[in-house]
Structure 1
Amino acid sequence: MSETDVRAESVGTVVVAGAANLAIAVAKLVAGLISGSAAMLSEAAHSVADTTTEALLYLALRRGARPADVRHPFGYGKESYVWAFLAALFTFVAGAGFAITHGVTTILVHEHSGNYLISYVVLAVSFAIESVSLARAVRQIRGESRRWRTTPRRFLRLTADTAVKAVFLEDSAALVGLLLAAAGLTLSHRTGEELYDGLASIAIGVLLLVVAVVLAKANISLLVGRAIPERLRLEIEQELNELPAVERIDTLLTMQLGPDDILVAAKVDFRDEATGAVIEAAADEAERRLIERYPEIGYVFLDPTPSRPEARHRRARHTQEDPSQ
C-alpha cells in the first residue's frame, strides 16, 4: 500500500467517524433535553467533542500532507500533530469538563423529567452507528499492522498516525460511554434516584479525560521529535551494515517528521580503502534500499566518520533506550 493510499484511508476513517458523531450528537442532545438525563446530555457533549475532534483531525491530515517548500524543507508533517494536540485539548475541556460538571450538578440539584424511552432508543441506535465507525478504524489498524509486520496492539501504541489512533480510542470510549449512560439511566429509572444518572455522567467525563491525556501525550512526543520504533531502527541499521563499503555504523538517528515521513541520519565508518566515488555510490545505494523497503522514509543523510577511536568518542551521539519500544 502506497503512502497516498494510507493517507486516503486515514482521511476516510476520520470522515466516517465525524459524520457518525455529528448525527449521534444531534440525537443525544434531543433525547437529553426531552428526558432531562444528565448522562444523555454528557453523551451529547461527548459526541460534540468527538465531532469537533474529527474536524480538527481532518484539518491535521490535509495541512500535514502539504509538500515541502523553501521555508519548510522537511515538509509540514509535524503540523498534523499540532492540530491533533488541539483536538485532544478540546476533548479534555469541552467533553470531560462538561460531563463531570454536569454530573455533579445533577447529583446535587437536578430532577429528572421521567421520560426514559427516547434515551434508550437513542443509546441503542448510537451504539450501532459507533460500532460501524469503530469497525472501520479496526480494519485500518489491522491492515497497517500487517504491513509493518507487528501486532495491532503494538502498532496502535507506536504509530505516528495519531488520526487513526484518535478515532480508535474515541470510538472505543464512545461505546463504553454509551454503556455507562445506559447503566446510569436504568438504575435511575428503577430506583427513582438521580444519583446514578449523575454518577454515570461523571464516569463518562473521567473516561474522556483519560482518552484526552493519552492522545495529548502521544502528540507532544511526536512534536518534540520522536524516533521510530526500535525494531524498525535495527532493521535500518542492518540494511546499512550490509553495504560492501561500510565498516561500521557509529551512530544512527531517526525522527518522525509526520505520520508517513521519516528522517534517517547516520554517522558511517566506511572501509579505509573506500574512495570518494565508492562512498558516493554507497550513499546512493543506501538511500535506494531504504526507500524501496520503507516508502515512508523521505530523507537519508550519511555522514562519513573517521575511524579514529578518539574521533568517534568525541562526535558520536549517545541516546538512552526507550523501554516502551
Structure 2
Amino acid sequence: MGRFFRQDFLPLADGTRIYYQLLGEPRGDAPAMVLCDGLGCDGFAWKYLAPYLARHHRVLRWHYRGHGRSSVPRDLARLGMLYTCDDLARLMDATGLRQAVLFGHSIGVQVALEFHRRHARRVKGLVLICGSYGNPLDTFHDSTVLKRLFPLLRRTVERYPRPAARLVRAVLSTELAMQVAILVELNRERIARQDMVPYFKHLASMDPVVFVRTLESMAQHSARDHLPYVDVPTLIIGGGRDKFTPVRLSREMARDIPGAELLLLPQGTHTVPLEYRDTVELQVGRFLQGRLGLSPPPGTRG
C-alpha cells in the first residue's frame, strides 16, 4: 500500500466518530484519490484499486456513519446523504486535502455526484463505478419489487431491531448465502470467494436500522438533474451483467455528463473492480494521466 499508512478517527460535533485511512505519500498540491463505498460496505471493493493508486497518489479511504469502524450516531436521524457529504468535507479539511478525484462504487456514485454538486471546487475528477445517479430502489434488478416491499421491511426492522440483527447475522454467516450470491449476482468465473468474505462479514455485523435508514435516504435522493453541470473529467465504468445497477444507468450518465468517458465490461457484474482488476487499473491510470495530467502508478498492467 505504499510507504505511507495512517489510520485515525475524526470526532464530529454530534459525537459521531468517522474512521479513515490515508495511504501513499503526499504529492504537493496534487489532488488525492478519495474512495466512497457502497451501502453496507467498508471498503471491500477497493481491495486492489486502493493499493494500486497509493503507489503514486495520496489515497483517502473512509467509512460512512454506522459502517465499518465509524460509530453509529447517537441520533439515528443523523444518517443519509446530506450527513455523508458533510462528513466527507470535514474529513478532507481535517486531513489537509484541498482537492480530490472522487471514486464511487455503487451508492458511492451518488455520494460522489452529490458532493460535486455541493463542493464543486473541491472535486478535480470523478470515477463512477457500477452505480447510479440516484433512486436505487427504482432500478434494483430493473424491478419495482424491492421498492414496494421496502416500507414493510423498514417498519419491521425499526420495530424489531434485535431479532432483525440476529436473523441477518445468521443468514449472511452461512456459506450457502455467499455461494448463492456468487452464483446469482456475480460472475463466478472471475470473482474470488476470498474477495467477497469481507463484504459478508461486515454486512452480517451491521446495525440493520442504520442500513435501512441510510438506504431510505439514498432511495429518495437523485443527482440526475445535476449531471449536465458536472464540469470535471469523468470516467464511468459499468458491468453488462450488473443487476444491482443495470448498465443502462452507466450509459445515461455518460450521455448526460459533458465529455464523460465510458468503459463497459459486458461480462462484468456489480463487483467489476474485483472481477476485472487489470482492466480497471489500466483504464483508471490512463484516465488520470490523459484527462487530469496525473502520473499513473508505476508497473501498470495491461
TM bucket (normalised to shorter chain) is under 0.3
Give the alignment's TM-score, normalised by structure 1. Answer: 0.24
Larger helix share, 1 or 2: 1
